[in-house]
Amino acid sequence: MVTIFERLKKLVVERLGVEAEMVVPAASFTRDLGADSIEMVELVMSLEEEFSNSSRQVEIPDGDMDKMITVQNAVEYLRGLGVEDG
């Protein structure tokens, strides 16, 4: 079973060009992983695409991007939208 964290980690590595070992739950997207505001917007769009499927469309309002400071915040946010591991 692939977890939300594992899927998110793969996206972060691809989008931000960081080493996989750097993507830990406590890592800040901006401070630790070096994402700027444009990269954060692109990452959020990638999250919407990755976690949407035929039965659920994931939409993350621009204002909610501020709630995703760390990798763990993003995992919890996605869970709050009904995204499940697997």
Q: Is 62 a catalytic residue?
A: no
Contacts of residue 50, Cβ cutoff 8 Å, sequence gap at least 6: 7, 11
Question: Which of 36, 62, 64, 66 is labelled catalytic?
Answer: 36
For 35, the token pair is: 């994402």
Q: Are 58 and 47 in contact (CB under 8 A)?
A: yes
Active site residues: 36
